[in-house]
Protein backbone atom coordinates (compact mmCIF):
# COMPACT_ATOMS: atom_id res chain seq x y z
CA UNK A 1 0.00 0.00 0.00
CA UNK A 2 1.32 3.39 -0.92
CA UNK A 3 -0.28 6.55 0.43
CA UNK A 4 -0.78 9.36 -2.05
CA UNK A 5 0.25 12.96 -1.49
CA UNK A 6 -3.37 13.80 -0.64
CA UNK A 7 -3.29 11.79 2.58
CA UNK A 8 0.35 12.57 3.46
CA UNK A 9 -0.16 16.29 2.90
CA UNK A 10 -3.50 16.17 4.70
CA UNK A 11 -1.85 14.72 7.80
CA UNK A 12 0.99 17.26 7.62
CA UNK A 13 -1.42 20.18 7.21
CA UNK A 14 -3.68 19.14 10.10
CA UNK A 15 -0.58 18.62 12.26
CA UNK A 16 0.64 22.08 11.23
CA UNK A 17 -2.61 23.75 12.30
CA UNK A 18 -2.59 21.90 15.63
CA UNK A 19 1.09 22.58 16.33
CA UNK A 20 1.68 26.07 15.01
CA UNK A 21 -1.63 27.95 15.11
CA UNK A 22 -2.13 27.97 18.86
CA UNK A 23 -5.87 27.33 18.56
CA UNK A 24 -6.42 30.27 16.21
CA UNK A 25 -7.28 30.11 12.50
CA UNK A 26 -4.22 29.38 10.37
CA UNK A 27 -3.78 30.99 6.99
CA UNK A 28 -3.14 28.73 4.06
CA UNK A 29 -0.09 30.69 2.93
CA UNK A 30 1.60 30.05 6.29
CA UNK A 31 0.77 26.33 6.27
CA UNK A 32 1.96 26.15 2.67
CA UNK A 33 5.30 27.76 3.49
CA UNK A 34 5.98 25.67 6.59
CA UNK A 35 4.99 22.37 4.99
CA UNK A 36 6.21 23.15 1.45
CA UNK A 37 2.87 22.26 -0.12
CA UNK A 38 1.20 24.18 -2.94
CA UNK A 39 -1.59 26.45 -1.61
CA UNK A 40 -3.90 25.31 -4.44
CA UNK A 41 -3.35 21.67 -3.57
CA UNK A 42 -3.96 22.42 0.12
CA UNK A 43 -7.26 24.08 -0.78
CA UNK A 44 -8.39 20.90 -2.57
CA UNK A 45 -7.42 18.72 0.39
CA UNK A 46 -9.03 21.12 2.86
CA UNK A 47 -12.36 20.99 1.02
CA UNK A 48 -12.55 17.25 1.68
CA UNK A 49 -11.48 17.68 5.31
CA UNK A 50 -14.18 20.32 5.81
CA UNK A 51 -16.84 17.97 4.43
CA UNK A 52 -16.01 15.27 6.98
CA UNK A 53 -15.97 17.70 9.93
CA UNK A 54 -12.25 17.87 10.68
CA UNK A 55 -11.67 21.45 9.54
CA UNK A 56 -13.61 24.68 9.63
CA UNK A 57 -12.82 27.97 7.99
CA UNK A 58 -13.38 31.64 8.64
CA UNK A 59 -13.18 34.41 6.05
CA UNK A 60 -11.64 37.79 6.55
CA UNK A 61 -8.37 39.33 7.70
CA UNK A 62 -8.30 37.24 10.88
CA UNK A 63 -9.64 34.20 9.11
CA UNK A 64 -8.15 30.94 8.05
CA UNK A 65 -8.58 27.25 8.76
CA UNK A 66 -9.11 25.81 12.21
CA UNK A 67 -9.68 22.39 13.73
CA UNK A 68 -13.26 21.47 14.58
CA UNK A 69 -12.05 18.86 17.07
CA UNK A 70 -9.26 18.67 19.59
CA UNK A 71 -5.98 17.21 18.24
CA UNK A 72 -6.42 14.25 20.61
CA UNK A 73 -9.71 13.43 18.86
CA UNK A 74 -8.44 13.54 15.26
CA UNK A 75 -6.97 10.26 14.08
CA UNK A 76 -4.74 9.66 11.11
CA UNK A 77 -7.35 7.13 10.00
CA UNK A 78 -9.95 9.89 9.57
CA UNK A 79 -7.62 12.01 7.49
CA UNK A 80 -6.26 9.17 5.35
CA UNK A 81 -9.64 7.59 4.60
CA UNK A 82 -11.02 11.02 3.77
CA UNK A 83 -8.30 11.42 1.14
CA UNK A 84 -7.85 7.81 -0.02
CA UNK A 85 -11.02 5.91 0.78
CA UNK A 86 -10.90 2.54 2.56
CA UNK A 87 -7.50 1.14 3.53
CA UNK A 88 -6.99 -2.08 1.59
CA UNK A 89 -3.81 -3.72 0.37
CA UNK A 90 -5.41 -5.39 -2.64
CA UNK A 91 -8.61 -4.73 -4.56
CA UNK A 92 -10.16 -8.15 -3.98
CA UNK A 93 -10.76 -7.63 -0.25
CA UNK A 94 -12.82 -4.43 -0.48
CA UNK A 95 -16.05 -4.49 1.53
CA UNK A 96 -17.92 -1.90 -0.52
CA UNK A 97 -19.81 -2.18 -3.82
CA UNK A 98 -16.57 -1.62 -5.73
CA UNK A 99 -15.02 -4.57 -3.91
CA UNK A 100 -17.90 -6.80 -4.95
CA UNK A 101 -17.19 -5.93 -8.58
CA UNK A 102 -13.50 -6.66 -8.05
CA UNK A 103 -14.23 -10.05 -6.43
CA UNK A 104 -16.39 -10.95 -9.41
CA UNK A 105 -13.47 -10.12 -11.72
CA UNK A 106 -11.02 -12.31 -9.77
CA UNK A 107 -11.36 -15.89 -10.91
CA UNK A 108 -9.47 -17.15 -7.84
CA UNK A 109 -11.41 -15.28 -5.15
CA UNK A 110 -13.15 -18.30 -3.64
CA UNK A 111 -9.97 -20.40 -3.79
CA UNK A 112 -7.39 -17.83 -2.65
CA UNK A 113 -5.69 -18.66 0.66
CA UNK A 114 -3.95 -15.25 0.70
CA UNK A 115 -7.12 -13.14 0.49
CA UNK A 116 -7.91 -13.37 4.24
CA UNK A 117 -4.28 -12.54 5.00
CA UNK A 118 -4.40 -9.36 2.88
CA UNK A 119 -7.59 -8.34 4.67
CA UNK A 120 -6.02 -8.99 8.09
CA UNK A 121 -2.86 -7.03 7.28
CA UNK A 122 -4.92 -4.12 5.93
CA UNK A 123 -6.96 -4.20 9.14
CA UNK A 124 -3.79 -4.03 11.26
CA UNK A 125 -2.54 -1.03 9.29
CA UNK A 126 -5.91 0.68 9.66
CA UNK A 127 -5.81 0.01 13.41
CA UNK A 128 -2.44 1.76 13.73
CA UNK A 129 -3.91 4.78 11.93
CA UNK A 130 -7.00 4.66 14.23
CA UNK A 131 -4.77 4.67 17.35
CA UNK A 132 -2.54 7.51 16.18
CA UNK A 133 -3.83 11.03 16.73
CA UNK A 134 -2.69 14.48 15.70
CA UNK A 135 -1.82 15.07 19.36
CA UNK A 136 0.57 12.09 19.14
CA UNK A 137 2.30 13.78 16.18
CA UNK A 138 2.52 17.04 18.16
CA UNK A 139 4.22 15.17 21.01
CA UNK A 140 6.65 13.61 18.55
CA UNK A 141 7.42 17.05 17.12
CA UNK A 142 8.14 18.40 20.62
CA UNK A 143 10.41 15.42 21.34
CA UNK A 144 12.29 16.14 18.11
CA UNK A 145 12.70 19.76 19.18
CA UNK A 146 10.69 21.21 16.29
CA UNK A 147 10.17 24.88 17.02
CA UNK A 148 6.60 26.17 17.06
CA UNK A 149 6.22 29.00 14.58
CA UNK A 150 3.31 31.32 15.03
CA UNK A 151 1.75 32.70 11.88
CA UNK A 152 3.42 35.84 10.56
CA UNK A 153 0.34 37.90 11.41
CA UNK A 154 1.24 37.57 15.09
CA UNK A 155 4.67 39.13 14.75
CA UNK A 156 4.75 42.61 16.15
CA UNK A 157 7.66 44.98 15.93
CA UNK A 158 8.14 48.09 18.06
Query: In this predicted model, what pLDDT tens digit does every residue of 59-115 receive, in sequence order?
Result: 988 889 999 999 999 999 999 999 988 887 776 766 655 545 555 567 776 788 887
Q: By percentage, how much of the chain surpasses pLDDT 90?
A: 62
- Yes or no: say if 3 and 9 are a contact pair by the CB < 8 Å rule: no
pLDDT of res. 32: 96
Q: What average pLDDT does range 28-40 have in this prediction?
A: 95
Q: Using a cut of 0.75, tell me whether the model's pTM lies above it.
A: yes
Q: List CB contacts of 1: < 8 A, sequence separation 6 or more.
A: 87, 88, 89, 122, 125
Structural domain contains residue 73: yes
Q: Which residues contact 58 (CB under 8 A, 6 or more apart)?
A: 25, 64, 66
Give domain status of residue 157, yes or no: no
Is 71 part of any domain? yes
Domain assignment of residue 38, yes or no = yes
For residue 143, the enclosing domain spans 5-150
Q: Write down the pLDDT at residue 30.
A: 94
- Per-residue confidence (pLDDT) for residue 3, from 0 to 100: 87
Q: Is residue 12 part of a domain?
A: yes
In a domain, 155, yes or no: no
In a domain, 133, yes or no: yes
Q: Are 24 and 57 in contact (CB under 8 A)?
A: no
Structurally, the chain folds into a number of domains equal to: 1
Task: Give the CATH number, domain containing residue 11.
Answer: 1.10.10.10
Amino acid sequence: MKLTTKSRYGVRAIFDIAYHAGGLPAQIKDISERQRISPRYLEQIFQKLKKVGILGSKRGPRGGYFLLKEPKDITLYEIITCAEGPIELVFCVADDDEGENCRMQCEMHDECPASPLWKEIGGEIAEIFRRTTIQDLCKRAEALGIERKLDARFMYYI
